[in-house]
Amino acid sequence: MRSSKLLDHVGEVIRINHFSYSTEKTYVNWIYRFIIFHNKRHPEEMGGKEIADFLTNLAVERKVSASTQNQALNALVFLYKRVLKIPLEDLEFKPARIG
């Protein structure tokens, strides 16, 4: 994964908020995957629809667990609310199956 100003900034905000290094690596990875999924568009150009599309893809195409999908959701909510300071509307996406 290549470094970028955005991902570096995400790491800084995570450390300021005293999250664990494991959480930092996980969140940065999910944010990177979100950006790649949307053809390297900057998250400021996207919003709830793109988040929902990504999360639905994880559940439907990738068949990830509910906890994995929730981890990705938490990383993206952190990105928008704490890093970019962009409010998110209600997200409507297909939830992953539990178990």
| DSSP codes of every residue in the chain | ----HHHHHHHHHHHHTT--HHHHHHHHHHHHHHHHHTTT--GGG--HHHHHHHHHHHHHTS---HHHHHHHHHHHHHIIIIIS---------PPPPP-
Per-residue pLDDT, 99: 63
20-66 per-position pLDDT tens digit? 999 999 999 999 999 999 999 999 999 999 999 999 999 999 999 99
Per-residue pLDDT, 82: 96
Report all structural domains of the chain as residue ranges with CATH numbers, in order of start: 5-83 (1.10.150.130)
Confidence bin at 3 (pLDDT 50/70/90): low
Per-residue pLDDT, 2: 59
Tell me what percent of the residues of the chain surpass a pLDDT of 90: 89
